[in-house]
Amino acid sequence: MERRSLFKVLSGGLMAALGAVIAAPVLGLLSSPLRRRVQSGGEEPLPVADLARLTDGVPTRATVIAEVVRDAWSRFEKVPLGAVWLIRRGETVSALSTTCPHAGCFVDWEPQKKAFGCPCHGSAFDLAGKCTGGPSPRAMDSLETEVKDGKVLVRFQRFRQAKSDKEPA
């Protein structure tokens, strides 16, 4: 191999290695938000209500708000994720998603019937969330709750509609 050809190959290899050394951290920096998982609830329980403000046996609607949501390069604060129905029984509280498992409409509490009802297709649910009528393929989706220092915390999560099994969305 001629001396000039050897220098061309060596300088080309050196430039390629130098380019890779510079490009790797830049590509890592630019792609880091794409690798970060979007936070939209489900990871940590979120405070939704004060236990003292809930009436025993009466469903109370509460909005679930995430303090911070990150999406790629953006950061959002106080983001409403959805809503839940809270039912207090003594010192324990259960939570049901306000989203109908049939088609995703909002389920309302009907105090005169002492039942939940979906206005879209007529699904009906008892106080425990069990389906008592209509096209809903399953009961209302229950969510994990805990009471800590007088606050009701809910692990908010969305589920697929029109499925007989409760599948995370």
pLDDT digits (tens, 9 = 90+) for 22-40: 998 888 777 766 665 544 4
Counted domains in the chain: 2
108 domain-assigned: yes
Domain that holds residue 93: 46-155
The answer on 50 and 29 residing in a single domain is no
Percent of the chain at pLDDT above 70? 92
Q: For the segment 37-69, what is each residue's pLDDT rounded down to a tens digit? A: 544 445 789 999 999 999 999 999 999 999 888
The answer on 88 and 12 residing in a single domain is no
The answer on 59 and 136 residing in a single domain is yes
3 domain-assigned: yes
pTM: 0.75
Predicted confidence (pLDDT) at residue 162 exceeds the cutoff of 80: yes
Q: Check residue 41 and give its pLDDT.
A: 47
Q: For the segment 106-126, what is each residue's pLDDT rounded down to a tens digit? A: 999 999 999 999 999 999 999
Q: Check residue 36 and give its pLDDT.
A: 58
The answer on 103 and 138 residing in a single domain is yes
162 domain-assigned: no
The answer on 2 and 61 residing in a single domain is no
57: Cβ–Cβ under 8 A, 6 or more apart, which residues? 87, 88, 89, 127
Distance CA 30, CA 23 (A): 11
138-151 average pLDDT score? 96
Q: Check residue 127 and give its pLDDT.
A: 96
Q: Check residue 40 and give its pLDDT.
A: 45
- Residue 93 burial (10 A CB sphere; 0-12, 13-18, 19+): buried
Predicted confidence (pLDDT) at residue 94 exceeds the cutoff of 50: yes
Q: Check residue 33 and give its pLDDT.
A: 65
Phi then psi for residue 121, to 5 deg, are: -130, 10
The answer on 82 and 11 residing in a single domain is no
The answer on 69 and 19 residing in a single domain is no
The answer on 104 and 57 residing in a single domain is yes
Q: Which band of pLDDT confidence, cut at 50, 70 and 90, is reported for residue 70?
A: confident
The CATH number linked to 93 is: 2.102.10.10
166 domain-assigned: no
Angle subtended at Cα 160 by Cα 114 and Cα 141, rounded to the nearest 5 degrees: 30
The answer on 128 and 51 residing in a single domain is yes
